[in-house]
């Protein structure tokens, strides 16, 4: 049974998601998109020890994973699109935006399918998404620049994607676990309070409901 949550109508969450109202979903999407934007800015300031252009930590993918596992696929897609648009327009060029969009779309598609499949944990899904992100960017560069030699960077990019995917996936996994535990605890406390109120109402039927709230 779903209980109404202040702030709007209650929507049934996807498997493993956190129960929240539509208003809370919108607020959560906005917060995650803003966080992804901030992480993208921090990421743009970090210079990685590699000569391969375009290599990043993928910190913003943490927010996409949180939206996918705690809300739903539509929310995760919204966070992903906002992340790409804001980061591309503010920190890059039209070409950078195109590469980011190609990588983000393929990575999100992989995350969504693997999450729906349910056989892999968050860290594994994050690694696959990171690999797909780099693969899409390399293929886009090969097509646009007509330079097949760019594909020679794929082995090194795959290794880097595995490392960054494990790191971001671990962070996302721990946040997801902490938030689920917090909601479960809050739900148990609320259920316990409701049981005590009903018990007092049954014990003193002549008293009004307001006296027990």
Q: pLDDT higher for 138 or 211?
A: 138
Q: Is residue 2 part of a domain?
A: no
Q: Is residue 5 part of a domain?
A: no
Both tokens assigned to 148:
């097949």
Q: Is residue 46 part of a domain?
A: yes
The total of other beta-carbon atoms located within 10 Å of residue 72's CB is 18
pLDDT score of 1: 33
pLDDT score of 8: 45
Total of domains in the chain: 1
Q: Could you tell me the residue range of the domain that residue 152 belongs to?
A: 10-212
Q: Is residue 148 part of a domain?
A: yes
pTM score over 0.75: yes
Mean residue pLDDT across the chain: 83
CB 68 within 8 A of CB 25: no
Q: Is residue 71 part of a domain?
A: yes
pLDDT tens sequence across 156-204:
999 999 999 999 999 999 999 998 888 888 777 776 655 555 555 555 5
pLDDT score of 2: 38
Residue 207 has pLDDT above 70, yes or no: no
CATH number of the domain where residue 157 is located:
1.10.1760.20
Q: Is residue 34 part of a domain?
A: yes
Q: pLDDT higher for 118 or 200?
A: 118
Q: Is residue 150 part of a domain?
A: yes
CB 103 within 8 A of CB 136: yes
Stretch 133-149: mean pLDDT, rounded? 92
Q: pLDDT higher for 82 or 1?
A: 82
Q: Is residue 37 part of a domain?
A: yes
Question: In angstroms, how far is CA 115 from the centroid of its own chain?
Answer: 12
């Amino acid at each position: 049974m779903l209980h109404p949550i202040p702030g709007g109508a209650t929507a049934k969450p996807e498997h493993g998601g956190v129960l929240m109202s539509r208003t809370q979903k919108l607020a959560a999407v906005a917060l995650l998109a803003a966080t992804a934007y901030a992480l993208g800015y921090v990421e743009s300031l970090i210079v990685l020890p590699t000569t391969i252009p375009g290599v990043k930590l993928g910190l913003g993918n943490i927010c996409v994973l949180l939206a996918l596992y705690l809300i739903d696929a539509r929310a995760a897609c919204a966070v992903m699109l906002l992340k790409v648009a804001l980061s591309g327009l503010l920190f890059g060029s039209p070409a950078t935006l195109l590469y980011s969009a190609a990588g983000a779309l393929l990575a999100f598609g992989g995350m969504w399918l693997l999450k729906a499949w349910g056989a892999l944990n968050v860290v594994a899904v994050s690694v696959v998404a990171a690999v797909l992100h780099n693969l899409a960017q390399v293929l886009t560069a090969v097509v646009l620049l007509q330079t097949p030699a760019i594909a020679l960077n794929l082995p090194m990019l795959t290794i880097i994607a595995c490392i960054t995917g494990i790191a971001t996936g671990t962070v996302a996994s721990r946040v997801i676990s902490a938030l689920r535990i917090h909601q479960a605890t809050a739900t148990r406390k609320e259920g316990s309070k409701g049981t005590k109120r009903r018990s007092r109402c049954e014990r003193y039927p002549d008293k009004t409901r307001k006296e027990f709230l």
